[in-house]
Structures are given as C-alpha cells and as structure tokens.
Amino acid sequence: MLGDVRILLTGGLGFIGSPTRRALVAAGHDIVVLDRADTADRKGRTGRTEPAPPPVPDGVEVIRADVRDLPAVRAATTHADAVVHLAAKVGLGVSLADLDDYVSVNDLGTAVVLRAAAEAGVGDVVLASSMVVYGEGRYTCTSDGVVAPLPRRAADLEAGEFEPRCPHCGGTLEPGLVTEDAALDPRNVYAATKVHDEHLLAVWARETGARATALRFHNVYGPGMPADTPYAGVASIFASELAAGRPPRVTEDGAQRRDFVHVDDVADAVVATLSRPGTPGTLRALNVGSGRVTTVGELAAALADARGGPRPVVTGSYRLGDVRHVAASSERAARELGWRARIALADGVADL
C-alpha cells in the first residue's frame, strides 16, 4: 500500500499510538484516531490522574470512544483503506480478577474492529500483538534438541531456581532467539488475549480476502511510557524508582533475557508494514524487536547510568506469570519490510 491512504488508528493517543500517529502523518497518510483516553479515564485506570495526552496535530480527526463501541468504530472506519489496531489493555494481568476486563477490552474490542473493517471493505489490518504469545522463548537441550520448557513452578522460584529445565531429561537449556514459526504458548491473561486476537485476525483475513499483519512487539520503551502502575513495563518501573531517588529493584537474579525496542522504531515498523502489505487472505506475523539481547539487570544498570542514580538492587523475588527468557529474531521483518531498529539502548534510555 503506497501513497496517501486513509487509516483508522485505534489507541492513537497512547504510548505507542502517539509516535505511530506522528509517523503516519509524516508519511502523508490521512489519519482518524479512535481512543477513549481522557483525564477521568486515565485516573480510573492508574489510581491517580496522569498528564493529559499531548495535543493532536491539526488535520487529525479524533473520535473519543471505547473500541468496543460498535457504532463509534463503524463511524471511524467509514472510507478507511486500512486499520492499525493498537488499543488494548496491557500488562500481565495482575490477578484473575482482571480476566474478564482483559478479555472484554482486547478480544471483544478486536472483534468489533474487525467486524467494522469487514463491513467497510477495509483492505489492510495491522494488529499490535506481542512477544508474550510465545511464552518462554527458544531453548535448546544438548540431548533433546529444540524444546519447549514447561511453566516454571512456584516451588522452584521460591528456591531461587529460575532457569527452566528440559521437559524430557531435566537438563540445562541454552536460550536462543525466537522466530515467528515458534509454537504459541501464552502464560498469562494478557498473552492469552493476544493469541486469540491473532486467531480472530486470521479468520478475518480468510473470510474477507484482505491483508492482515500481526506485529509481535517485544519490550517497547521510550518517552511517554505509563507511570509506575501494575501494567507498566519494566523500563518505566525502573525509571520511576530512579526519579524518586530509589534504586531499581530487579526481580529474580536479573539475568532474564529480553529484547528492548524503542517506541519510535516500533512506529517506523507500522509505517513500513502499510507500505509493504502481505499476501491477501492470510495472516502474516512479524517480530518487532531491536535485534539485541539485553538482560533485565543490564537495562536497570543502563537506566541508572543515564540518570546518575543509585545502582540496581537484585531482590530474588518473582512474578509467577513472568517467563525467564524471550528475545526475538526480527530478520523476517528486515526481509519483508526493509525495516530494522535503529535506536541503541544507551541512546534510548536517555530519552526516558
């Protein structure tokens, strides 16, 4: 899809949505934003009033509505050539008390967007998926080859045994880079909704014959991240602690492998996806990561260095829904989109 097109951008006032909106406008596209964000809503979700979203540039139409509101989504989708669906409830899912809200916002919201897109004859949908769909990342056992470890047991984590073991021989595993053909294995509520969203998008693509891409964002960080809430990313939590003069508190032993990708690189990936759509009638999944493996402890240290703050403290604590290692190969996105992340971690954390 090239040239000036009309795009519905859900969640276009949010952390990832705002730079994506700016990147799409800079590329010459006509944007309609659908977002429920307002001061009251932000206070309701975080427990305290957050700064209001920044002003939206002239020429961008904003519809303030919930993504589950079918009449509003229908109106926003009118005459749209493409939909970029970013609106979602994010985080692990702190407890099962959150389960129905995650399913409602993420799964019902995606279903409403896809229904409206089908009715409007939209030709392209880009979905914000996540690396959490993989569960644990790619592992190799010297005896059994590539394996999928079982979820870690609370008793092992309590004992400080953080590394998963081979499910066949119990041996040590070597973590590697996960690719898009890996089996999906969601291990928390949010992950389960993202897997379902991808399945809904695949059905939509087959039924409509249109083009669909699920961008599996890895750990996104950058300016505008949510504040220190249960749903914030680890980079935001560390930054909040440093801003308060406290050392970042690192769970487990800090050796958890991740791929931290700057939000501006993610926005560029969305633009590239619309410029190089996939095959009609099929779902294309692409990892969107930096291509660099960084441990959680290394991230905390980089943030402390950038802010001149106290050194991180390794706590040995854990969250049962967390996975040990998951880092991406983004080579497929490089091949198919001509996109690569360009912002180094040291430069990116300086912007937080």
Q: Is 214 a residue whose pLDDT tops 70?
A: yes
Q: Please count the other Cβ atoms lying within 10 Å of the Cβ belonging to residue 284.
A: 20
Higher pLDDT, 63 or 151: 63
Residue 162 within a domain: no
Residue 254 within a domain: no
Mean pLDDT of 34-45: 61
Nearest to 184 by CA among 246, 105, 129, 259: 129
Mean pLDDT of 185-212: 95
| Total count of domains within the chain | 1
Percent of the chain with pLDDT over 90: 77
Residue 114 within a domain: yes
Q: Which domain holds residue 61?
A: 6-136+178-221+262-289+332-341
Name 276's Cβ contacts closer than 8 Å, sequence gap at least 6: 336, 337, 338
Confidence at residue 42, expressed as pLDDT on a 0 to 100 scale: 47
Higher pLDDT, 40 or 5: 5
CATH number at residue 17: 3.40.50.720
Question: What is the pLDDT confidence band of residue 43, given thresholds at 50, 70 and 90?
Answer: very low
Residue 14 within a domain: yes
pLDDT tens, residue by residue, 247-296: 999 999 999 999 999 999 999 999 999 999 999 999 999 999 999 999 99
Q: Is 145 a residue whose pLDDT tops 50?
A: yes
Confidence at residue 236, expressed as pLDDT on a 0 to 100 scale: 86
Confidence at residue 253, expressed as pLDDT on a 0 to 100 scale: 96
Written as six digits, the tokens of 76 are 């926003």
Nearest to 287 by CA among 201, 195, 176, 213: 213
The answer to whether the pTM exceeds 0.85 is yes
Residue 152 within a domain: no
**How many Å apart are CA 80 and CA 2, to the nearest integer?**
14
| In the block, residue with structure tokens 């009638």 | 281
Q: What are phi and psi of 132, to 5 degrees?
A: -65, -15
Residue 191 within a domain: yes
| In the block, residue with structure tokens 């240290």 | 301
Confidence at residue 56, expressed as pLDDT on a 0 to 100 scale: 72
β-bridge partners, 69: none
Q: Is 92 a residue whose pLDDT tops 70?
A: no
CA distances from 329 to 206, 244, 290 (A): 27, 35, 9
Lowest mean pLDDT among 51-60, 90-99, 141-150, 333-342: 51-60
Mean pLDDT of the chain: 90
Lowest mean pLDDT among 149-163, 165-179, 220-234, 335-349: 220-234
Q: Is 41 a residue whose pLDDT tops 60?
A: no
Question: Is the torsion defined by CA of 201, 207, 208, 209 positive or negative?
Answer: positive
Lowest mean pLDDT among 148-152, 231-235, 242-246, 258-262: 231-235
